[in-house]
Amino acid sequence: MVVCDLDETLLNDKKLIPAVNIAAIKAAVAQGIYFVPNTGRGYLTVQDNLQTLGLLQRKNEYVISYNGGAIVENFKNRILQTCVMPFSVVESLFELGIAQGYCVHVYTVDQLYIWNISASEINYLTGRVNQWHETTEPNLNFLQGQDLIKIIFFVPQEAERLALKEQVLAQYTYPLNISFSSDRYIEFNSIEADKGQAAIALGNRLNIKPAEIIAVGDNSNDLPMIRQAGLGVSVANGRKFVKQAADYITAADNNQGAVAEVLRKFVL
C-alpha cells in the first residue's frame, strides 16, 4: 500500500496531478498496489482526484482524510472509521481562534464551515476545496450533536504557529494531535487521529503489514505516517524536519512528479 499526501506532494502548484504521477499510479494499481490518498482535507474534496486516477467509486479502494480522522471506502463513500473530538474542546478552540482573529475551519464528517475567510484563503482553497460554508455565526451551537473531526486556523507566520501550539498544549488537558500543513495552517485533531495511525489501521483491515506500506509527504502532519510506514518518503520540496525523518528523499519535487519517482523506484 502507498499512502500519499495531496497538497504539495501528489499535486503540483497548479493543484493538478502531474501526468507522470497519473501514469505511475495507474500502473501500480494494475499490479495490485493500493494507492490511498492520505490528506488533511475532507474525503469529498478528493473526488476529482480519484476520478483522474481511475479510483472514483471503486470498491476496495480507500481514502484517509482529516489527518486520519476518517477512513473511507471510495465505493459510495462508505465511512469505515472516524475519530471525533468532544464538542466542548472544539468549542473552546474555536473561541480561542476567533478571539485572535484567525480564519477558522471546523470539519464535520462531511461538511466544512469557515469563519473570517480572506481573499488569500479563498484563492488557496479554490481548486482544492470547492465546497465550504462561509458563516458569521458567533458560536458553534448549530453544530451541537454532530461529529466534529477537526478544527484548524490559518496562521501564516511559522513562529506564531509554533507559539500557539505551545500555548494550547499548556492550556488544554484533553490530549490533542497538533500539526502543521501547507506552511499556513495549525491543525487540531483527537490524539487518536493522525495519518500514521490511520494508515496502520487500514493496513490491518487489508492484511498489509506496516513494513509493506510506503508513505509520501512533505509537512508536519505527514510525519506520523512517514515514521510508521515501512518506507517513509519526503518529496524534494518537503520541510527540513520531514526530510530528516524520511528513509528516502526524492530528487523530484511536487511539480516534477515526485510520486512517480517513488513508484518507479520502489514498486514498478
3-state secondary structure of 22: helix
Among 168, 190, 212, the domain-final residue is: 190
Q: How many Å apart are CA 207 and CA 204, to the nearest integer?
A: 5
Domain CATH code at residue 257 = 3.40.50.1000
What is the pTM for the complete model shown?
0.94
**Same domain assignment for residues 11 and 69:** yes
**Same domain assignment for residues 10 and 56:** yes
Range of the domain at 205: 2-82+193-266
**Same domain assignment for residues 140 and 204:** no
What DSSP letter does each residue of 122-173 carry, written as one string?
Answer: HHHHTTT----EE---SSSGGGTTSPEEEEEEE---HHHHHHHHHHHHHH--
**Buried-exposed string 102-139: b where 16+ CB fall within 10 A, e elsewhere:** bbbbbbbbbebbbbbbeeebeebbeebbeebeeeeeee
**Same domain assignment for residues 91 and 42:** no
List Cβ neighbours of 192 (8 Å cut-off, separation of 6 or more): 83, 177
**C-alpha closest to that of 242 among 219, 260, 262, 264:** 219
CB 83 within 8 A of CB 127: no
**Same domain assignment for residues 93 and 126:** yes
Show pLDDT as tens, one digit a residue, over the chain (268 residues). Answer: 999 999 999 999 999 999 999 999 999 999 999 999 999 999 999 999 999 999 999 999 999 999 999 999 999 999 999 999 999 999 999 999 999 999 999 999 999 999 999 999 999 999 998 789 999 999 999 999 999 999 999 999 999 999 999 999 999 999 999 999 999 999 999 999 999 999 999 999 999 999 999 999 999 999 999 999 999 999 999 999 999 999 999 999 999 999 999 999 999 9
Q: Hey, what's the cell of 249?
A: 528523499
Q: How many Å apart are CA 75 and CA 62, to the nearest integer?
A: 8
Count CA atoms closer than 13 A to 235's CA, side-chain side.
Answer: 29
| Structural domain total, the chain | 2
Q: How many Å apart are CA 131 and CA 120, to the nearest integer?
A: 16
Among 141, 157, 190, the domain-final residue is: 190
**Same domain assignment for residues 30 and 163:** no
Can you give the pLDDT at residue 131?
87
Domain CATH code at residue 179 = 3.30.1240.10
